[in-house]
Structure 1
Amino acid sequence: MIRNLLCASLLGGLCLMGRSAIAAPESHDPIKLTLNDWTGELITAHIMGDILKKAGYNIDYVPADYLAQFSGMENGDLTVAPEVWATTAQEALQAAVKTGKVEDLGSSGMQAREEWWFPEYMKEKCPGLPNWEALKKCGEVFSTPETDPKGRYLGGPSTWGGHDEERIEALDLPFEVVHAGTDAALFAELKSAYERKAPIILWIYTPHWVPIKYKGEFVEFPRYEPGCYENPSWGINKDAKYDCGKPYGPIWKAVWSGMKDKWPGAYAIIKNYKFDNKTMGELDARVDLNGEKVEDVAQDWVNKHEAVWKPWLSK
């Protein structure tokens, strides 16, 4: 009996050790997730981080420039870029992947669109919208004292890229780009203009709550093709690139290529991670409209949706 009990105890211990070994993080060094300067990315980063913490990993959140973050991943100072939008960072991602030091882990499940956007009431003031050619005659309609007589296009923070200055020049539009300091400032100005029915045209993106809350449309520029960004002879202006709209496409996940060897379990979690536009728009609204904290919104989602994310822990 004693021998059987000892055997049972030993086997039980080995089983527990086995379960612990499977669950144990491969390294206690912190996995560094980038924090960019828009609400949705911050939510994604914290959802990923909270799930990784539940799997036993140590997490650091590191504020990072959206486009410059790839050099940090190349040298291993940053581990995960949770959201890389095909609309604005596809070139930077591809260049980083070519170095062999950054890996594209595929789509997050969300589909991105980023483009010039205007409230519906602006169609009366600028007939012909949403066709981009209407803007050639409507510069003064969108002008402000700082840009008069040119129209003002309110762009996102300068760190977002997007080639808006090049697009204006290539398409010969009577507009000037004024960059918002933050995404919060961008949407605060939209709110103010919309309530007053004041002229405004600005950078809007989805997934987000703005196209749900406000009636408006994206400007329809010549449709993007890779040649537009690569070959000046591609489009309307044979002497300039960027004479088209911004690309549409997935929101990718990117990681330091050494992650799969140092933290294979965490690597699998990030690879399995999937989300959708509707849910992200709803979470964005809780932060931007309701004033909830990013960390609280992310933690609440993780707590309530274990059935969704638990399968992501499987390798």
Structure 2
Amino acid sequence: MMAAALSTAPAHAADVPESDDPIKMTIHDWTGQALTTHIMGSVLEDMGYNVEYVQADYLAQFAGLESGDLHVAMEIWETTGKDALTASLKTGDTVDLGETGMKAIEEWWYPKYVKEECPGLPDWEALNDCAELFASPETHPKGRYLGGPVTWGGKDEERVEALGLDFEVVHAGTDAALFAEIQSAYQRRQPILAWVYTPHWAPIKFEGEWVEFPRYSKECYEDPSWGPNPDKTVDCGKPRGWIKAVGWAGGEEKWPAAYEAIRNFNITNQDMGEMIGKVDLDGMPISVVVDEWMENNRDTWQSWIPKN
């Protein structure tokens, strides 16, 4: 085994890999994150690194990243993971590996045809007038909001309470179940209010809109006096913004060239949404989609690799 590098200076190509120990990259429960991680993992393998993929919970993974049991997480979304990332970075045991180029939106979404029966949308204040439109037998007379898996966070129950919405949050068990139900409702032109995010194939394929809640601010999540409800926090929409990679701090010294390559990773929402569609809609294996992207975008990913 090669000795680990003792400097965070960029490694020369001849020095890579600096260690034969595997770089453990986390895999979560949505297709896009698996694609992002396997693309970057393939690049690292091309550089000579040993890569291991480890299934991990999106928010709970930070304990493993801080201890060094896990090494790299490719997608922390500002929309749902900002607080957890900020707290982790403050420990000094993890490092920010930079933005991935993708821009995150995760919000309540409805098909555009729903506005025929609820014309006040996308204003959030129209939701209570239309709650029964979205009701299910289990939630009636309250509306049903189909949220993402519980592990994704998102504060939807808190949002419902703070804004006084006549809705119940029902969490999908998996990413696949969430979008299968959305697709089924869309094909039958049935009302549905659900968690939709981008980058993803759904906003590309389906004509719809995100609900416009009071604009997110940090104070909304921390200060009850901010926003329309003076007694509650989370009386606003979700944050929108970056998607970042994060790593175990010890990796800076152990695999400096790998960390530099990860910082150079960059992909667009459009490219990622199309790849997710190939997996979720066309049934292509993730490995095939990754190989196809790597073959067709050789100049792009090779530009991430540090030069001498």
TM-score bracket for this pair, using the shorter chain length: over 0.9
What residue number does 1:8 align with?
none
Question: Is the 1:23–1:56 contact (alpha carbons within 8 Å) kept by the matching residues of 2?
Answer: no
Question: Is the 2:73–2:246 contact (alpha carbons within 8 Å) kept by the matching residues of 1?
Answer: yes
Other structure's SS at 1:88 match: helix
What residue number does 1:25 align with?
17
For 2:90 and 2:143, the matched residues in 1 are separated by: 39
Other structure's SS at 2:301 match: helix
What residue number does 1:150 align with?
142
Identity across the alignment (%): 59
User: Which of residues 205, 224, 229 is equivalent to 2:216?
Assistant: 224
Structure 1 portions without partners, runs of 5+: 1-18
What does 1:111-190 align with in structure 2 at a 5 Å threshold?
111-190=103-182
Superposed structure 1 runs of 4+ greater than 2 Å apart: none
Asked if residue 107 in structure 1 is aligned to residue 105 in structure 2, the reply is: no
Residues 228-287 of structure 1, C-alpha deviations (whole Å, 9 max, x = no match): 011111111011110000001010110011111001111111011111111101111110
Question: CA shift at 1:310, angstroms?
Answer: 0.9
For 1:305 and 1:120, the matched residues in 2 are separated by: 35
- Normalising by structure 1, we get a TM-score of 0.92
User: Which of residues 67, 70, 81 is equivalent to 2:62?
Assistant: 70
- Aligned-partner residue type, residue 292 of structure 1: M
What residue number does 1:312 align with?
304
Higher helix share: 1
Structure 2 portions without partners, runs of 5+: 1-10
- Aligned-partner residue type, residue 22 of structure 2: P
For 1:145 and 1:274, the matched residues in 2 are separated by: 44
User: Which of residues 48, 62, 68 is equivalent to 1:56?
Assistant: 48
Other structure's SS at 2:158 match: helix
Question: CA shift at 1:21, angstroms?
Answer: 6.6
For 1:195 and 1:277, the matched residues in 2 are separated by: 24
Distance 1:56 1:128, change over 3 A: same
- Number of matched pairs: 297
Question: CA shift at 1:24, angstroms?
Answer: 3.1
Question: CA shift at 1:23, angstroms?
Answer: 5.0
Q: Which has the larger radius of gyration?
A: 1
Question: CA shift at 1:121, angstroms?
Answer: 1.0
What residue number does 1:202 align with?
194
User: Which of residues 227, 230, 254 is equivalent to 1:238?
Assistant: 230
For 1:62 and 1:252, the matched residues in 2 are separated by: 18
- Normalising by structure 2, we get a TM-score of 0.94
Residues 41-94 of structure 1, C-alpha deviations (whole Å, 9 max, x = no match): 000000011110000000110011000111110000110010000010000000
Cα RMSD, aligned residues only:
1.3
Other structure's SS at 1:121 match: helix
Question: Is the 2:16–2:257 contact (alpha carbons within 8 Å) kept by the matching residues of 1?
Answer: no
